[in-house]
Amino acid sequence: MDRAQKEKVVEELGQIFESSGVVVVARYEGMTVAQMQDLRAEMRSVGGSVRVAKNRLAKIALEDKPCASIGTLLTGMTVLAYSEDPVAAAKVAEKYAKANDKFVILGGAMGSAALDPAGVKAVAAMPSREELIAQIVSCIGAPASNIAGAIGAPASNIAGILKTIEERAAA
């Protein structure tokens, strides 16, 4: 790899560190190519990505970035899992780590906050952006359906009472 290629990789990694909602650093020593492809496919399905890069270049890219604290995690065979959604990459990485003992989460960063493995697990337990939007929409929609039910209920109650009175008068 010549100097121009290295500069390009450092620039790409810098963009990843700046624009990602979460970056998870994990060790992948001993994983097969098929296992890595499975991880990449799972990450792509949630809008995330997986990147293997030279640790030295990643450390250079981390300089002056909010998540520079993860530089200490970059030793040995490491992989970066990242996504714009602050929860997606952590969820997939945590799920994959449970299924594959060769994929070990070392930590990560969420914005300027450094995460240890327990922090990544906590982020993975949070609801995703889509789940939060669905919860908010259901909270907003619930009062409207309650109002519609309350408005419709008296009419049905009155109709029931009138029918009961009519049945009693007929009897």
pLDDT tens sequence across 14-58: 888 888 888 999 999 999 999 999 999 999 999 999 999 899 999
Q: What is the pLDDT of residues 132-141, one digit of tens each?
A: 788 787 777 6
pLDDT at 152: 62
Q: What is the pLDDT of residue 151?
A: 61
Pair (26, 108) in one structural domain: yes
Domain stops at, among 110, 126, 142: 126
78 and 132, same domain (yes or no)? no
Kindly report the average pLDDT of the chain as a whole number: 85
Structural domains of the chain, count: 2
Q: How far apart are CA 18 and CA 111, in angstroms?
A: 8
Q: Which residue has the higher pLDDT, 171 or 10?
A: 10
- For the stretch 69-102, pLDDT in tens is 888 899 989 999 999 888 889 999 999 999 999 9
User: Which residues form the domain of 15?
Assistant: 3-126
Mark whether 119 and 132 lie in a shared domain. Answer: no
What is this structure's pTM? 0.72
Strands 113-115 and 104-110: antiparallel
Contacts of 61 (CB under 8 A, 6+ apart): 9, 10, 11, 12, 13, 14, 16, 17
Same domain, 134 and 84: no
- How much of the chain exceeds pLDDT 70, in percent? 87
